Chains A and B, each alone.
Chain A
Amino acid sequence: RRGAALAAAMESADGAARTLPSFGRLSRGPPFGRAHGRFGRSPGGRLLLPAPRSQENADPQITAFLLRKQWTLYSVTPMYRFSDAHLRDYARLLSAFIAAEKQKGLAVEIGVELDIKVAVSNIPDLKGSDQDQAAVLVQLSSRSSASQKNSEEKLIWSGWFCCVSGDDFSQNVPEDFTCLPLFLANGADCYTSIVGSWFQKTFDCCFRRLAISPLNLSWMAAMWTGCKVDKTASAVELVFSVPRLPQPLDISYAIHPEDAKALWATVHKTPGEITQEEVDVFMDCLYSHFHRHFKIHLSATKLVKVSTAIASAHCEGIIKFLQSQYLSGVLMLLTELAISQIQ
């Protein structure tokens, strides 16, 4: 809890965007990627989730695969000398690496049939603009060793790298680097660690868990409340955790989606954009309503989870996508958060 409070403090300290006059440099570091000041931007306003994209070119099978799963979020620094042309080789090397990790210290032949099969492929349509790298999907499946012939492959772990509208960032990075700043993993941690280590070793990148601050969670709550959903939508649920108690105490605050939407409609004024102020007002209204009924100041607690019909997000950096047409919109926001963590 303390960590989160400090993180919030840090965020506000970073607030002001800074520009650098160009001196001769005493240090060598990246002359790139500083368009938004060094500490990433603190958004005064964000664009609305883009209108649902036409789903013609998106592979419905892949999209369905990504929905309704819990994904653990990571930020990844740009990968050095990663190339889409070698995905098949990467799969080969990665599967040998996994085998080697599992039987420490013994020689492993590259390319032979191993316990765990690795597939690395592109998800071509999962991007926000043409500048974005195509997303990369890594899947591990195990072969049942008993019957080798009719090998029933079982998916045991998957993870994907993506970049949705990270233009400002990726444009400023030199050619040798590939920007896929957001990584999402589903499956046992031990595989995340092996796959992540391999990518770190091979492409000199750095993985970090991507936690979502309460501030950003409230952004999500507001943004997603306003989105149109076809079917009868599920409730907007906010979970708060009360700090400094001997026993953990969580408060769940569920709001009927239509009520939440109506409230948002009265708050939201700026066309095409959402401002920090609107988000604050929206949350304050919810807080005061709650206070009227329960005499509890939610503003003194910590927002830990937001679930809406669009997606649900936990402060520890776990997300579940629920609506295919808003997938890329949510990923855009997450890409932004990932970039601000690595910049």
Chain B
Amino acid sequence: MQRRQSSKTQKQPLQVHYKNQSDLSAWRKGGRTDPEKIVQNNQSPNDQKNGSKQDSFEQALSYFEKVQDHVSLKKNNVLQKHLTTVESIALQRGLPPEGFDVLLNVALSGKLADTVNTRLLKSLVPASVIPETSVVSSVSWLCVGKCSGNIQLLFLRWLITMFDFIDHKDQLRALYGFFFSFLQDEKMCPYVCHLLYLLTRRESVKPFRIRRLLDLQAKMGMQSHLQALLSLYKLFCPELVTITLPGKMKTYFKNSDGPWKAAINAVRQRNQKNSPVSQPLFLGTARPQSRKRKWNAQLIIPASSTNKNNLKEDKERNRVDLYGINESFPVEQLQTFPQLLQNICHLEFPSQMGSVLTNPLLLHYMNCIKDESIYLRLYYWMGQTLQEECTWCAADNNQYEEEFKDFLETVYKTECFLQEGFSSCEEFLYKSLPLWDGLCCRSQILRLVSWIPLSSFSEMKSHLYDPLAQLFFTSSLYFKCSVLESLKQLLQNWLNWHIINLDSESDSQFHSLNTTLSGLVNVVAELIHFVGWISTVALRLEHNPTFLLYFILDFYETVCDMYLRYNMPLLIMPPAGVFYPALLSMDSVSLNQLCYIMYRYRTNLVAAKENELTKKKILQFKFSSQTYQEYNQYIIAMVGCLWTSSAFQKDVHPQGLHMDDELLKKTTVQEFKTSFNIVYHPAMMGYAVLFLQQAWPDDTTFNFSLIKGKKWNWYLEYLYAQGLKGLKVFIESSINRVSQASRSKAGNVQV
């Protein structure tokens, strides 16, 4: 009661205000970080606008907190403005929990006109939950009786509709007697009955209440709402309610959803879009009605416990209750991580495994439990759902693409969370990729590809590589890059899996290393060859765009480091069709990237060679001499190009740059020898020009031959300072400079 008084007399508005402010800003942050939602709203196209909207909402709240008696709506623009703000925020994304206290207080205090109060009550749509305390304090307003009957009724209807959104109900249940006393009000009686119906528990059923209800029934006649409550009482305590009630009633309560149901659904749907995985589940009971055309296709399933208890004989159930040991913790109540830890021994998976997808806590739990049946249940459900909902496999599914997208997104997030792919998802991809147009749900499908588990090459080839290659060659540049990106992810996932398995292999009886590792190495090698092949073709098809080259080289950044970073006894050089376009690229980014990659290849190969020589470990896998040979060919070409200006003479790669002097002379290019060194290379010339401008500000002839000797070193320092770190590590590792002072010839670069 204390709390009520204080809030009534507004002794602590400041405190409340501060609390609101801090919480609201947190809420705003949540809203801001989500570009999707903003786009979807369409009414707040940018952050700034969203923010200002937020500010005006806070202003509105503080206005309603301080508002004085009887402000007329018609004459007061300020009130009008704030009221509209509240309404529009409520309908767009729902009100934050902190808003309810203030708004309920003002609406039920009778300070403002009923039209205002009605509009306020109608806009009380929660974004997430309604704090119980604000409801309790508004009930106390009812007892004071300051607001009109209509407002009281509207409030009750609101309470009934929002019942599932109230975060706790213990205090509310403690007010059972208050609500019960409202039964004598004839108008309120039906709604109070409904509310009591929701609040009633076995211990609420008391003889005096039954008597009171029977009195009312005698006075008002057979009312369906009274009967509903009586029948519930009878259900709980059949020995106390001895009267016979008609068995069947069509409807006990009038539909009291009021003006809120549609708004709640809209808000929920909008908010749900954002993050299915992180979404809290405490509203599970109040989900919006599925608008699906099929009864059995529910993409997001709320978690609910298995109801096997009902099956047991009563005796048995009592015994279990007595000991209280085997009682399982209902998944509906699982909301925090500490709860999970406390109850991990009593937890049972929900009745439908599909619901774990949106429940991070259950996913944690799933990670701890090694039970095949869990995965099998999930496997069947997911496999069927994916096939059923696939928008390009079933002709009439087009309109549900957004929904399917969200579902794929959820599945992908779950795979990332568990760090493993689902085999139902893999099978779905294999089945549907040949039919896919490459457009529908593109990013979702390609991301799911990255979680395809390892399997034999023949299988991967016919089910993944072939259909993917077909789409790859016929689709846009952007699609090509997306495919490369997801294949890089796929490679990384495989390598991560390998390195984790390598760790666990030492302490458990894992597969005999022989078959597993050689199989793994082959499959990984095939993936890299596949990417090498499609990259070569794509570069020719698209005429070597830097954008594409970036994604290709990004893939090789993983490949060149496999030995050291992932303990994978395998190194594969990029094909000439990738190497030379990167070496001769017009863009310094690609060249720099290539330099870095070659540096990492060198580090890995040197480490492998050392291991081989010192025989620290008996190696089952040696890199073929071909890898070393290829590396050496590339390094000769690279050093010849960038450093010694002898690429045309020294390149020995069959697809390389080697050209006869005679032929070169026919091109009538003056200084062909130097044309690809770090000064004249088309990717570097821009740097050379800027360097000249800084070194010789007065010279406007752009005499590149000035860069030599000491200047050559300055130029290098300049390049490094410009961020060409890849070039730096490459030159420092692969070029043996005879003397720091003079320009050096390429030294021992071969490994």
- Interface set of A (CB-CB < 8 Å, partner B): 1-3, 6-7, 9-10, 13-14, 16, 18, 20-32, 38-39, 77-78, 80-81, 86, 89, 93, 103, 106-107, 109-110, 113, 115, 145, 173-174, 176-177, 189, 192-193, 196-197, 200-202, 204-208, 342
Contact = CB atoms under 8 A, between A and B. Distances in A.
Given A26-B420, A29-B422, A174-B376, A14 B431 contact: yes
Interface stretch (B38-46, B245-253, B323-331, B587-595): B245-253
A174 B375 CA distance: 12
Q: Is the interface of B mostly helix, strand, loop or mixed?
A: helix
A6 B384 contact: no
11 contacts: A7-B393, A21-B456, A21-B519, A23-B519, A26-B493, A27-B422, A93-B310, A189-B295, A204-B353, A204-B377, A206-B384
A10 B421 contact: no
Interface string B351-373: 11100000000000000000011
Contact of B379 (A30, A81, A113, A192): A30
Contact of B295 (A7, A173, A193): A193
Contact of B393 (A10, A25, A115, A192): A10
Contacts of A14: 431
A24 B516 contact: yes
Nearest to A80: B377
Given A20-B459, A23-B454, A30 B296 contact: no
Contact of B424 (A7, A29, A196): A29
Interface in B304-318: 304, 306-308, 310-311
Interface string B500-534: 01000000001100001001100100000000000
Give the residue among A1, A77, A197, A204 with the most B Cβ atoms within 10 A.
Answer: A204
A210 B501 CA distance: 41
B510 A24 contact: yes
Contact of A29 (B373, B379, B387, B454): B379
Nearest to B433: A13
A200 B379 CA distance: 14
A7 B519 CA distance: 34
Contacts of A31: 372
A196 B308 CA distance: 18
A77 B375 contact: no
Given A23-B455, A342-B383, 18 more contacts: A7-B393, A13-B434, A21-B519, A24-B454, A24-B511, A27-B451, A28-B372, A29-B375, A30-B423, A32-B376, A77-B384, A78-B376, A80-B377, A93-B310, A110-B310, A200-B296, A202-B307, A208-B387
Contacts of B377: 80, 204
B296 A206 contact: yes
Contacts of A1: 395
A6 B250 CA distance: 46
A18 to B, nearest CB: 6
A29 B386 CA distance: 15
A16 B296 CA distance: 31
A6 B393 contact: yes
A248 to B, nearest CB: 16
B431 A204 contact: no
A342 B377 CA distance: 12
B430 interface: yes
A201 B351 contact: yes
Interface in B226-248: 228, 232, 235, 247-248
Interface residues of B, number: 67
Interface in B262-308: 295-296, 304, 306-308
A206 B510 contact: no
A75 to B, nearest CB: 8
Contact of B247 (A7, A113, A206): A113
* A-B complex: 4 closest residue pairs judged by Cβ atoms: A29-B423, A193-B295, A26-B453, A3-B395
A41 B142 CA distance: 69
Contacts of B295: 189, 192-193, 196-197
A30 B455 contact: no
B572 to A, nearest CB: 20
Contacts of B393: 6-7, 10
A39 B383 CA distance: 11
Interface centre among B384, B385, B430, B431 (most CB of A within 10 A): B384
A23 B179 CA distance: 65
Nearest to B426: A27
Contacts of A207: 296
Given A23-B455, A27-B423, A38-B427, A204 B352 contact: yes
Most buried by A among B373, B385, B393: B373
A205 B380 contact: yes
A81 B308 contact: yes
Contact of B435 (A9, A39, A193): A9
B712 interface: no
Nearest to A112: B247
Contacts of B394: 3
Interface in B523-579: 523
Contacts of B228: 106
B635 to A, nearest CB: 35
A27 B455 CA distance: 10
Contacts of A25: 423, 453
B396 interface: yes
Contact of B296 (A27, A29, A193): A193
A21 B520 CA distance: 11
Nearest to B231: A107
A23 B422 contact: no
B311 A26 contact: no
B375 A28 contact: yes
Given A20-B456, A24-B516, A204-B381, A89 B310 contact: yes
B496 to A, nearest CB: 9
B580 interface: no
B501 A78 contact: no
Nearest to A145: B248
Contacts of B516: 23-24
Contacts of A86: 311
B362 to A, nearest CB: 14
A208 B352 contact: no
Contacts of B353: 204
A24 B420 contact: no
Given A109-B235, A174-B372, A28 B423 contact: yes
Give the one of A20, A21, A174 with max B CB within 10 A: A21
A81 B426 CA distance: 27
Nearest to A99: B248
B507 to A, nearest CB: 15
Nearest to B395: A3
B373 A176 contact: yes
Contact of B497 (A13, A26, A109, A189): A26
Interface string B196-210: 010000000000000
A102 B661 CA distance: 91
A77 B420 contact: no
B604 to A, nearest CB: 24
Contacts of B634: none
B310 A106 contact: no
Contacts of A78: 376, 380
